[in-house]
Amino acid sequence: FMKCKNSEEYTIYENIRKELYDDSSVIKLSSLNATETALIIVDMINGFVHFGALSSDRINSIITPVSTLMKKCSERNIKIAAFADSHKSSAAEFSAFPPHCTEDSDESQIIPEIENICNFTLIRKNSTNGFHAPDFRTFLNDNPKINTFIVCGDCTDICVNNFCITLKTYFDQLDLASKIFVPVNAVETFDAGLHDADFMNTASLFLMKTSGIDIVKEIL
């Protein structure tokens, strides 16, 4: 798509981008029921933001919107959970990704810019899908009234995408109503070789949208 700017395929790509980035709605936090809502922060940790094999300068751009969401949710007593990659040195995931964010390392720690903003539940995860982390299932069980989720963080096309789609299908399987909001201004991914961040953001946001997840410009 990125090399075929005169092609029909590129026109389709641009139309999708317009729908996602220009036409997405804005949601007011005050419109959500605080007792039924949770903010989920995905992998805002040193190993993806500041240093390490998988760190990316692009992730820095969402520190401010993520921190703002944390402050506003805390003010409304909305529960907050933060995922943090934390692997053993022998992690199976390292067959697909370079070694990163080993447990108890500085890489696996929440970035200092947000770690002291407010109280949150820290959930360590050992895969690209935080839904499977035992502590997240505990979080769900401990908060049975929560059916609305705001998901932010990184990477849009990997951990955010995997978590959101699994969470949505979990509620669908149980025939329970749910809403999952992904604010475009508070998610990001990385550039690396064929992994074009702009394209991967667009593709993954579109996939989530067509899977029943609400893609919004931002949450005010």
- pLDDT, one tens digit per residue, over 95-107 is 999 999 999 999 9
Q: What is the pLDDT of residue 1?
A: 46
Location of structure tokens 């040195």: 89
Going by pLDDT thresholds of 50, 70 and 90, the confidence category of residue 15 is confident
Q: Tokens representing 118?
A: 């407010």
Average pLDDT over the chain reads 93
Q: What is the mean pLDDT of residues 168-195?
A: 96
Q: What is the mean pLDDT of residues 11-35?
A: 83
Q: Phi and psi at residue 78, in whole multiples of 5°?
A: -80, 130
> Which residue did the predictor score with more confidence, 1 or 210?
210
**pTM of the complete model:** 0.93
Are the CB atoms for 177 and 147 separated by under 8 Å?
A: yes
Instruction: Report how far residue 151's alpha carbon sits from residue 39's, in angstroms, rounded to the nearest whole number.
Output: 6
Are the CB atoms for 133 and 83 separated by under 8 Å?
A: yes
Q: What is the pLDDT of residue 38?
A: 98
Q: What is the mean pLDDT of residues 203-209?
A: 94
Are the CB atoms for 48 and 111 separated by under 8 Å?
A: no
Q: What is the mean pLDDT of residues 144-168?
A: 98
Instruction: Report how far residue 146's alpha carbon sits from residue 90's, in angstroms, rounded to the nearest whole number.
Output: 35
